[in-house]
């Protein structure tokens, strides 16, 4: 916690969300800078992620993959905790940070009890991202500044800490192999 005190109750609970399915909602006031929860799950290779999740066969994109390194991601669908239900927003009140190989969700502003916790997934995009992919990764956050997609914004560089889409991981690996050859 930001102020060094141990909170007396869980900082959030899972409830129905207007954004997407279920979401995490603050059960108490959360201070800016507070580490809310660790994003946990099975650590897997991108090859395994591609085997498990195929965007082309999905009617809508839905995974709990999170980039950890260029070789590894966390799949919260296997052994994950409630952090996997924190939804995307184009105007987030949280961010994901990696510390010593672990992913944490932290508040970037004060959050009142009852507010939904959100962070910007900023899924990786590249020059080949087309309208079909934009539609697959549609955003429903409802923010005034909503960009209409959970893909990273075009105008700013992609964050190194982000949720992951298996298809994009596959493209990234191919691109890196070519650069090493």
Structure tokens at 106: 């932290």
pLDDT at residue 119 above 70? yes
- Residue 152 within a domain: yes
2 part of a folded domain: no
Beta strands 12-16 and 22-26: pairing type? Answer: antiparallel
Q: Which domain holds residue 19?
A: 12-180
The 10 Å Cβ neighbour count of residue 145 is 9
pLDDT at 118 > cutoff 60: yes
Q: Tokens standing for 107? A: 């508040």
Q: Lowest-confidence range among 6-15, 44-53, 57-66, 137-146?
A: 57-66
pLDDT tens per residue, range 16-42 = 999 999 999 999 999 999 999 999 999
Token pair listed for 24: 């995490």
Angstrom distance (rounded) from CA 74 to CA 71:
11
User: Any idea what the CATH number is for the domain that residue 108 is in?
Assistant: 2.170.270.10
Give this prediction's pTM. Answer: 0.78
Question: Which stretches of the chain are assigned E, i.e. beta strand?
Answer: 12-16, 22-26, 35-39, 42-45, 65-67, 72-75, 87-88, 94-99, 102-107, 118-119
- Which of 170 and 16 is assigned the larger pLDDT? 16
Q: How many domains does the chain have?
A: 1
Distance CA 104, CA 40 (A): 9
Please tell me the distance from the alpha carbon of residue 49 to that of residue 78, in angstroms, as a whole number. 12
Residue 150 or residue 5, greater confidence: 150
Residue 79 lies in a domain: yes
Domain annotation covers residue 4:
no
The pLDDT of residue 59 is 56
Residue 78: inside a domain, yes or no? yes
Q: Tell me, what's the pLDDT at 24?
A: 98
pLDDT tens for 36-94 read 999 999 999 989 988 888 766 555 556 788 988 889 999 999 999 999 999 999 999 99
User: How many whole angstroms separate alpha carbon 65 and alpha carbon 169?
Assistant: 10
Residue 7 belongs to some domain of the structure: no
């Amino acid at each position: 916690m930001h102020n060094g005190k141990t909170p007396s109750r869980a900082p959030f609970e899972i409830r129905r969300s207007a954004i997407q399915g279920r979401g995490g909602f603050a059960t108490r006031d959360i201070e800016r800078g507070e580490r809310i929860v660790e994003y946990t799950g099975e650590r897997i290779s991108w090859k395994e992620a591609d085997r498990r999740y195929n965007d082309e066969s999905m009617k809508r994109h839905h995974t709990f993959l999170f980039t950890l390194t260029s070789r590894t991601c966390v799949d919260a669908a296997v052994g994950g905790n409630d952090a996997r239900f924190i939804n995307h927003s184009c105007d987030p009140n949280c961010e994901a940070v990696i510390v010593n190989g672990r992913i944490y969700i932290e508040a970037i502003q004060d959050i009142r009890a009852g507010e939904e916790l959100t962070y910007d997934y900023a899924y990786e995009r590249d020059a080949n991202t087309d309208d079909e992919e934009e539609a697959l990764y549609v955003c429903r956050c409802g923010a005034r500044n909503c960009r209409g997609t959970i893909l990273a914004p075009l105008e700013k560089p992609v964050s190194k800490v982000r949720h992951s889409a298996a298809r994009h991981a596959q493209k990234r690996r191919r691109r890196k192999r070519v650069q090493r050859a």
